[in-house]
Every structure is written in C-alpha cells, then in structure tokens.
Chains A and B, each alone.
Chain A
Amino acid sequence: QQKVQQSPESLSVPEGGMASLNCTSSDRNFQYFWWYRQHSGEGPKALMSIFSDGDKKEGRFTAHLNKASLHVSLHIRDSQPSDSALYFCAASDNSNNRIFFGDGTQLVVKP
C-alpha cells in the first residue's frame, strides 16, 4: 500500500487563483514532511519542509500539517504560470534515512 497518498491527481487554476494540494499518510511514525516541485524535463526540487503542527508560510506558499490526522496540505496564493509543475508530497519516519514520495499532483496554471 502506498504510504503517502496525494489528491487531486491533477488540478487546473486560473492565473492569480488559489491552488490547494492535499496529502495523507498511512504511517503514524512519519514525523517529517516536504513538498517537492518538478518542472518538465528537470529533477524534483524541495519547495518547503514542515515538521510541526500548524502553518508554515514562505512567500506565496503555505503548508499546513496536522499530525493527528496525518494530513498535510499546500496552498499556493496568486498562482502564476511558472507554478505549473508536478508537486510531490514526501514523508519520513526517522528510522532509515529514506523518504516516501506520493504519486504527485499535476498543477496547470492557465494565463
């Protein structure tokens, strides 16, 4: 069973709109969460990490973590066409130096 599930699979928002991406995990041992972004033809790049319950804001990006419900989300305010990419949620459980990636959400921001 996939340890990290993401929804939706794909998302289309207008330029200037809000994009909301969701992620849930099935492993209560997960303590560290990340969002990675992959533009077409490139390798993924870490966007932000979140390790504590609550919100973390970096510019137009806000991540929210609720460890009790094993849910993490990413909200992109004032979405830009350059935000169009594949977004991965990832999590780790502090035991074996690996992180588990979800299958990704494909975001398209239409001008």
Chain B
Amino acid sequence: GGIITQTPKFLIGQEGQKLTLKCQQNFNHDTMYWYRQDSGKGLRLIYYSITENDLQKGDLSEGYDASREKKSSFSLTVTSAQKNEMAVFLCASSKLGDYAEQFFGPGTRLTVL
C-alpha cells in the first residue's frame, strides 16, 4: 500500500497572491495529477505528469503552473489567486497506463479573501 500527502490541508490567500500546493506519494507511481473540485462537483484536470520529466496541460491549466520536482513529488502553483477559484485541489497518482487506477490524496481547500 501507499499514501498521498497533500500540504497544506487548508490554504488561505489574498486575491492576486501566488500560492503553492504540494503533493507527495510513496506508491512509486510514475504518473501524477492535479485536479480542481468546486463545491462537491466534478473533477477538472489542471496538470499531469506522465513520468518524472514530463508535464502535460489539462483542461483547466490557465492561471496555474506545475512542477514535478522528483518522481514522488508534484507541486501546483496558483499564479494569481482569484476569488472565483475557491475550491478543493486534489492530487492523484497512478501506475503508467490508461487502464491504471488513480489514487487520490485528501485535498487542499483553498480560500481566497
């Protein structure tokens, strides 16, 4: 088994501020993902990294940057926080391959004042 750790659990920022969310996994998975979930709704893919040196934009990448520092860690930066993007940000990881199950972390809840 393994675990995905997301820090911080709660993040409060000011409008226009640059904010960074971090994710660590110990599954030894190749692929990592960042999703945004608005108030109990669906998951929208922001960025993903298929292998350690790869970075792919998802459907919602505008306003975000991502960095795969090493195989086990993947961070997401909100470049300029906006009030309409208060949401839960979920990190996930999986083995390589389209048939692979994704394992999710508990999420970081972002509040923008």
Contact = CB atoms under 8 A, between A and B. Distances in A.
Contacts of A49: 99, 101
Given A43-B90, A43-B106, A97 B42 contact: no
Contacts of A44: 43, 90, 102, 104
A92 B99 contact: yes
Interface residues of B, number: 25
Main secondary structure of the interface of A (DSSP, over half): loop
Interface residues of A, number: 27
A88 B106 contact: no
The residue in A86, A97, A99, A103 that gathers the most chain B C-beta atoms within 10 A of its C-beta is A97
A25 to B, nearest CB: 14
Interface in A73-89: 86, 88
B17 to A, nearest CB: 25
B104 A98 contact: no
A86 to B, nearest CB: 6
A97 B106 contact: no
Interface string A43-79: 1111001010000000000000000000000000000
A88 B43 contact: yes
Interface string A83-111: 00010100011111111011110100000
B110 to A, nearest CB: 15
Interface of B: 4, 31, 33, 40-43, 45, 48, 50, 56, 58, 90, 92, 96-99, 101-107
8 contacts: A31-B99, A43-B105, A43-B106, A49-B99, A94-B99, A98-B33, A99-B98, A104-B40
